[in-house]
């Protein structure tokens, strides 16, 4: 039997070090909210493959749909020999994505690819080039994705010139002293100092910044962005790659704000663990690209499409939007109950089951990646997998499958509380 350490040593020799890893436990099998490693250790999964298996690992309905597809065909390339399932999933997304207008969809394979295509489509439709994104935002590791991403290290550092005509504006985060007004003023200044709004093709925004630290866009800001876009003929792109598919208690997070984007990017939770991504948007805008200008060999793989149909059925049948809200409330309540004893807790937040806790040093009030990392390590020792995020790496984000069983969720909350208390007492005894 290989041990985690053996494989880790081989990994160091065989895999490029640019592929960062959050744990050194190698997966053997997984079921709903649990993962077992190659040594037989069991973990409760509060990462869900970074917000992918919202419907749990190997949901029986998803597996059944994929198996049925495997028995029919696995790849024809939709651009060569198309299949009905692709069309049917587009019809479903066209209905699900907010906006009282005709919509069309294109399928690709990864979140970054959805972002690339949304910008291609926006530029083709507007015949403009500039794009505005937000500091702290994350939009993928391809070149345009990197350029749009508002964090230099590790995403852009060392990778040379970024595609141009991309501008960043501060994202409004009250907790960090950036108000909605500050962000809007920055946008006004940008339009005066750097780029004519008539040259701007799109503004791209995550309704909840994911990698950036789980900060939800304020409704007033989102609505004002919509107005600014309408005023200047700019397209609004909602990047729902991490926020989508019941995670925030809605199918898509922009539903919390009553705002409809012109283009929406989706991936991750869409296909419950199979690679599939989509761009859905206003039909006339989506049709701006020439035939052959969009797509890709694997775009809309029949396996991913079959899985996505099952995921949408499961979200509906198991009422996962409602369940996300109730699980998130239980998690946030438990974390709130620790506030008096743990002065490092700076904030507890997040819609539905897209929750986060932010840690600052109890004395200096500065971000504490140390507390955050110690907590991640401690929880992992006790069998709970946690992810961190945030531009200061001082946020733990919680992304458990929304299908997590009640008993296992309770167990995870107990581990989480014990881990936070232990890290506090270790940090406290040092200070």
- The binding site for ligand PMP (CB under 6 A) comprises 50, 110-112, 115, 138-140, 206, 210-211, 239, 241-242, 267
Contact (Cβ atoms closer than 8 angstroms) between residue 246 and residue 312: no
Contact (Cβ atoms closer than 8 angstroms) between residue 162 and residue 119: no
In the bound complex, what is the minimum distance in angstroms from residue 298's beta carbon to ligand PMP?
13
Nearer to ligand PMP by C-beta: 140 or 299?
A: 140
In the bound complex, what is the minimum distance in angstroms from residue 318's beta carbon to ligand PMP?
24
Contact (Cβ atoms closer than 8 angstroms) between residue 260 and residue 223: no
Nearer to ligand PMP by C-beta: 204 or 423?
A: 204
**Residue 6 falls in the annotated catalytic set:** no
Which residue of the set 103, 151, 250, 268 is catalytic? Answer: 268
**Which residue's CB comes closest to ligand PMP?**
111
d(CA 158, CA 70): 41
Residues linked to residue 279 through DSSP beta bridges, in sequence order: 106, 265
Residues linked to residue 57 through DSSP beta bridges, in sequence order: 32
In the bound complex, what is the minimum distance in angstroms from residue 136's beta carbon to ligand PMP?
11
Query: Hey, what's the torsion of the CAs at 80, 85, 88, 92, to 10 degrees?
Result: -120
Contact (Cβ atoms closer than 8 angstroms) between residue 139 and residue 133: yes
In the bound complex, what is the minimum distance in angstroms from residue 209's beta carbon to ligand PMP?
8
Nearer to ligand PMP by C-beta: 115 or 420?
A: 115
Beta carbons within 8 Å of 84's beta carbon, 6+ residues apart:
none
Report which of 399, 365, 414 is spatially closest to residue 55, judged by C-alpha positions.
Answer: 399
Nearer to ligand PMP by C-beta: 141 or 382?
A: 141
Which residue of the set 138, 191, 222, 359 is catalytic? Answer: 138
In the bound complex, what is the minimum distance in angstroms from residue 399's beta carbon to ligand PMP?
11
**Residue 268 falls in the annotated catalytic set:** yes
> E strands, 128-213, where?
130-134, 166-169, 200-205, 208-209
Which residue of the set 239, 262, 347, 361 is catalytic? Answer: 239
Nearer to ligand PMP by C-beta: 206 or 358?
A: 206
d(CA 250, CA 97): 11
| 3-state secondary structure at position 272 | coil
Joined tokens for residue 133: 């994104």
Nearer to ligand PMP by C-beta: 210 or 249?
A: 210
The 10 Å Cβ neighbour count of residue 43 is 22
Nearer to ligand PMP by C-beta: 191 or 298?
A: 298
In the bound complex, what is the minimum distance in angstroms from residue 336's beta carbon to ligand PMP?
26
Joined tokens for residue 378: 């401690």
| 3-state secondary structure at position 355 | strand
**Residue 262 falls in the annotated catalytic set:** no
Q: Write the CA distances from 96 to 91, 121, 301, integer angstroms.
A: 9, 20, 20
Contact (Cβ atoms closer than 8 angstroms) between residue 253 and residue 268: no
Q: Are strands 277-282 and 42-45 parallel, antiparallel or unpaired?
A: unpaired
Q: How far is CA 288 from the centre of its chain?
A: 27
Any idea which residues carry the catalytic annotation? Answer: 138, 239, 268
């Amino acid at each position: 039997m290989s041990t985690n350490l053996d494989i880790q040593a081989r990994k160091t020799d065989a895999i490029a070090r640019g592929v960062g890893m959050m744990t050194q436990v190698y997966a053997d099998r997984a079921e709903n909210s649990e993962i077992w490693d190659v040594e037989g250790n069991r973990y409760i999964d509060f990462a869900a493959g970074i917000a992918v298996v919202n419907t749990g690992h190997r949901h029986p309905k998803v597996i059944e749909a994929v198996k049925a597809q495997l028995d029919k065909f696995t790849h024809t390339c939709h651009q060569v020999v198309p299949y009905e399932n692709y069309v049917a999933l587009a019809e479903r997304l066209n209905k699900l994505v907010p906006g009282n207008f005709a919509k069309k969809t294109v399928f690709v394979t990864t979140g970054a690819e959805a972002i690339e295509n949304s910008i291609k489509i926006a530029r083709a439709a507007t015949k403009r080039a500039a794009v505005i994104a937000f500091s702290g935002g994350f939009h993928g590791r391809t070149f345009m994705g990197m350029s749009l991403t508002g964090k230099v290290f590790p995403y852009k550092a060392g990778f040379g010139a970024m595609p141009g005509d991309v501008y960043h504006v501060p994202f409004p985060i009250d907790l960090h002293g950036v108000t909605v007004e500050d962000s809007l003023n920055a946008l006004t200044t940008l339009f005066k100092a750097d780029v004519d709004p008539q040259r701007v093709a799109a503004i791209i925004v995550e309704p909840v910044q994911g990698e950036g630290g789980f900060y939800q866009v304020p409704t007033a800001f989102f609505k004002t962005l919509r107005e600014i876009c309408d005023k200047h003929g700019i397209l609004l792109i909602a990047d729902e790659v991490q926020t989508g598919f019941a995670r925030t208690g809605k199918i898509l997070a922009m539903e919390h704000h009553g705002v409809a984007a012109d283009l929406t990017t989706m991936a991750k939770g869409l296909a419950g663990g199979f690679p599939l991504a989509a761009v859905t948007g206003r039909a006339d805008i989506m049709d701006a690209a020439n035939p052959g200008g969009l797509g890709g060999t694997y775009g809309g793989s029949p396996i991913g499409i079959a899985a996505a149909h099952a995921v949408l059925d499961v979200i509906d049948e198991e009422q996962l939007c409602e369940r996300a809200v109730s699980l998130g409330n239980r998690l946030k309540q438990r974390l709130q109950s620790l506030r008096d004893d743990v002065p490092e807790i700076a904030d507890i937040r997040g819609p539905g089951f897209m929750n986060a806790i932010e840690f600052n040093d109890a004395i200096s009030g500065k971000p504490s990646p140390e507390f955050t990392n110690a907590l991640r390590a401690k929880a992992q020792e006790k069998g709970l997998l946690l992810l961190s995020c945030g531009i200061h790496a001082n946020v733990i984000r919680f992304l458990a499958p929304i299908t997590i069983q009640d008993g296992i969720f309770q167990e995870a909350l107990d581990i989480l509380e014990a881990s936070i208390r232990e890290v506090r007492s270790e940090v406290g005894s040092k200070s």
